[in-house]
Structure 1
């Protein structure tokens, strides 16, 4: 652990998101071991992922942002409110622009600008990539906050966030690779597309870490921005996707379990 502590924050964020990308790849790799995945399992994992993201949004992002704003001349709630809403509106704009297709949806329901010009595989990858942008940003900002020396930020808390996001990335890789395999794509190509969706997280993490290290007053806004972006993804895609096949009770309980596990990780380690 000492070797990790001694690393620069940018390198810590990079390693943390390489882990989250690895979990995406691990989920996508299930395409090599099974022909089909039980829909109840998929819906429960998606609900679980939503719970992790909701808990991480508060315990790892919004709560530290509120503590950091206590020494500001502004009202304590203002940076968190501005950042949170900005994150949601940013994802809303990206959602309207970026062509993407939710897993298990017909190509006719693709969203964004000119989605009909893209292949189904590309649209699926872009959908999960859209999820992963705020997750990578959140990890990067968390490690950057530690390097900036804020008392409310802790290295163990940033590590807990990376672990939690890594856990919920597992079903996201599977959510891309399995539909592509069902469409007739080879196992290798299905895996490659599935894991590729997680590669945006290290890039977003580096951007987040560098930004808050050099512009420290932005930190409460950046943490809240990442939280707002994640909540938008949960409300707009994750929860509806987990319940559209009728497994509403299972998905809801799984969401609560995911929330509790992420809360325990953050409180126990942070």
Structure 2
């Protein structure tokens, strides 16, 4: 099955492949959000466990799918070899830091709004919070496919598809994480689903942008991979992990993190070569 998927993605333009891959990750968010049609609520304990799982997947993907290839393809010796990765990593963190301070958003616990003050409703602010999570995920997938388009040996279709699978798996609980709280706030099932799936629509957009940028400007690939890795790590440390610590479910969230890390590490090592 996986080999059939690889064969198909190898037969099409890598930028188009990036679009299809990120549409898949968006669809997994929509699938998670669709659970509001089946259940009225998800306990905070389960939600924290799922968010921990999401964090584990993102951290593992940041190293195995992004930072390790970026280091491998960097040229030079000694300190010069780490300059592209270190520079890209810092820029990625600063990019998410800036978005976090500018973009109005609300955490899942509804107790802490961030970004510039806004008259927007809490439903919009919560959706924007999850949207912020999804930007680096789409970018990371797109950048890898862009590296394939540029003919970089360290960027492979297998690696890019594996990353998309991992991001899709962790997008399922993310869809639940935005749709269920909206349902608890009193929104209809239809509106809760609509907001939940809309939070991931940025992934195809940034996936295509990332692929195009690297395909046309090949030398930026190590910088771009490290940029995407830093953006994902920033989201986990600044948003996901603190969110799981609000309701006394630290152990469940930690175990979820470990499970997510192992799942993504296994996918990348077994399928991404």
Q: TM-score range by the shorter chain?
A: over 0.9
Task: Give CA-to-partner distance per residue, 1:17-75, whole Å, 9 cap, x none.
Answer: 11100110011111110111122211111000000000000000000000110368971
Q: 1:110 aligns with which of 108, 113, 121?
A: 113
**8 Å Cα contact 2:15-2:149 kept in structure 1:** no
Give the 5 Å matches for 1:116-127. Answer: 117-127=119-129
CA contact (8 A) 2:9 2:157 kept: no
Residues 87-166 of structure 1 mapped to structure 2, 5 A cutoff: 87-106=92-111, 109-115=112-118, 117-166=119-168
CA distance in 1, matches of 2:77, 2:149: 19
Aligned partner of 2:60 in structure 1 is 55
Query: How far apart, in 2, do the equivalents of 1:149 and 1:4 lie?
Result: 15
Partners of 2:185 and 2:43 in 1: CA distance: 17
Alignment partner, residue 251 of structure 2: 249
In 2: Cα distance, 1:81 partner to 1:56 partner: 17
For residues 19 and 71 of structure 1, the distance between their equivalents in structure 2, rounded to whole angstroms, comes to 37
Task: Show the counterpart of 1:227.
Answer: 229
Which stretch has the larger CA shift, 250-259 or 207-216? 250-259
The correspondence for 1:268, drawn from 261, 264, 270, is 270
Q: Distance in 2 between matches of 1:7 and 1:269?
A: 20
Query: Cα deviations across residues 233-256 of structure 1 (Å, max 9, x unaligned)?
Result: 000011111121111111111111
- Alpha-carbon distance in structure 1 between the residues aligned to 2:80 and 2:264: 29
Name the stretch that deviates more: 211-220 or 164-173. Answer: 164-173
CA RMSD of aligned residues (A): 1.3
Aligned residues: 267
Q: Which runs of 5+ in 2 are unaligned?
A: none
Q: Distance in 1 between matches of 2:195 and 2:165?
A: 23
The residue aligned with 1:41 is: 46
Ranges of 4+ aligned residues in structure 1 off by more than 2 Å? 1-4, 70-74
- Aligned mates of 1:110, 1:247 — CA distance in 2: 22
Residue of structure 1 in register with 2:214 after alignment = 212
Unpaired segments ≥5 residues, structure 1? none
Question: Could you say which residue in structure 2 is the equivalent of 1:200?
Answer: 202
Distance (Å, rounded) in 2 between the aligned partners of 1:245 and 1:177: 19
* Pair 1:17 & 2:22 matched: yes
